[in-house]
């Protein structure tokens, strides 16, 4: 079981700030557990926990409950919209973005009521401009998402916000922005990816490791950032790292550690969210086990149990406003 301190740390690090209701101890635990499950793509399992805090008025729980319902159903429903609206009314900009969508199925078939998508878009623009004037990088990112120009994302990155720095590096990599001098785009990508990684943003660390790899930087440097993402519980990094420390093969100079490799892969194999195929992890687990004794396998299982106690919960670290 993940301890309460780690739940709280996870919530503070990876959930954007916003209006939070005064929750009881039990409601806080339910909210944090629901968000952990949501971050693992266990959208159906997350809902009962998120509902406890959402019903108590917590705006972030309301937003993530809307997300979990929408993703689990693969389209916007009247229930999801209800929770987005509750969150948006408390000022959550990402809830406003969801409500601003013009192609929600429940609006098309007439099961949703309330403000139109265009009305929510105008409201989101108004609030985002107000907050950006106060230096809020989240509001600046929202203005970028709303099509107000790359300059807003650049301003957000300049505030030191590691999420925005990662987003800007990705935007540059995807061809956004103008760079006249040869090589200047790559330098800008590296600058912001490194800043995000050093700021502790997990997707930024993973992105930076990948960038260094493509630039043929020393493998020890790539391995350092890969290990940092693993220690943060980033699911997308753990599988590849485990195969490397099992030397199947090793590309980064990691010492052979079959117990660690088995333990981390064992954790992946136990996930029940919708973001990965458990059979894939089980196949990796079998590959590693072929190199181990029965005693070492038991040590790997024990390693997994200890790792859970001392690290953040496993997570895909999905963007706050993503798929």
Report whether 287 contacts 249 (CB < 8 A). Answer: no
**Which among 70, 91, 114 is the end of a domain?**
114
- Does 287 fall in a domain? yes
pLDDT, one tens digit per residue, over 244-254 is 999 999 999 99
**Which among 62, 92, 114 is the end of a domain?**
114
Q: What is the pLDDT of residue 281?
A: 87
Report the domain count for the chain.
2
Q: Is 234 helix (H, G, I), strand (E, B) or coil?
A: strand
- Does 48 fall in a domain? yes
Average pLDDT over residues 76-105: 90
CATH number where 83 lies: 1.25.40.10
**Which among 97, 114, 131 is the end of a domain?**
114
Q: How far apart are the first and last CA of the chain?
A: 29
Give the other-Cβ count within 10 Å of 113's Cβ: 11
- Does 157 fall in a domain? no
Give the other-Cβ count within 10 Å of 122's Cβ: 14
Average pLDDT over residues 187-197: 98
Greater model confidence, 115 or 85: 85
- Does 79 fall in a domain? yes
Name the pLDDT band for 21 (thresholds 50, 70, 90).
confident
Name the pLDDT band for 323 (thresholds 50, 70, 90).
confident
Q: Around 139, how many Cα atoms within 13 Å sit in the side-chain half-sphere?
A: 16
Name the pLDDT band for 14 (thresholds 50, 70, 90).
very low
Burial class (CB in 10 A: 0-12, 13-18, 19+), 219: middle
Range of the domain at 305: 232-316
């Amino acid at each position: 079981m993940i301890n309460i301190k780690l739940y709280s740390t996870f919530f503070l690090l990876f959930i954007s700030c916003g209006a939070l209701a005064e929750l009881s101890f039990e409601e806080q635990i339910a909210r944090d557990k629901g968000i952990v499950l949501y971050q693992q793509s266990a959208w159906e399992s997350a809902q009962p926990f998120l509902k406890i805090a959402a019903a108590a008025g917590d705006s972030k729980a309301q937003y993530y409950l809307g997300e979990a319902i929408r993703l689990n159903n693969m389209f916007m429903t009247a229930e999801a919209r209800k929770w987005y609206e509750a969150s948006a009314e408390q000022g959550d900009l990402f809830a406003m973005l969801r409500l601003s969508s013009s192609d929600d199925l429940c609006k098309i078939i007439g099961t949703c009521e309330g403000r139109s998508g265009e009305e929510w878009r105008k409201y989101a623009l108004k609030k985002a401009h107000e907050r950006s004037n106060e230096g809020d990088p989240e509001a600046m990112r929202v203005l970028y998402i709303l099509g107000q120009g790359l300059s807003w994302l650049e301003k957000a990155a300049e505030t030191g916000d590691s999420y925005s720095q990662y987003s800007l590096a990705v935007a540059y990599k995807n061809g956004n922005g103008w760079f006249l001098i040869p090589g200047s785009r790559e330098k800008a990508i590296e600058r912001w990816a490194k800043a995000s990684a050093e700021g502790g943003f997990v997707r930024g660390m993973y992105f930076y490791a990948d960038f260094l790899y493509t630039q043929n930087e020393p493998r020890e440097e790539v391995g350092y950032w890969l290990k940092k993402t693993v220690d943060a519980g980033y699911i997308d990094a753990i599988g590849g790292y485990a195969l490397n420390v099992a030397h199947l093969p090793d590309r980064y100079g990691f010492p052979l550690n079959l117990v660690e490799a088995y333990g981390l892969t064992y954790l992946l194999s136990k996930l029940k969210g919708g973001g990965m195929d458990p059979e894939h992890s089980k196949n990796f687990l079998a590959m590693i086990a072929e190199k181990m004794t029965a005693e070492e396998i038991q040590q790997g299982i024990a390693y997994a149990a200890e790792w859970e106690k001392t690290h953040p919960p496993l997570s895909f670290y999905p963007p706050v406003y993503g798929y």
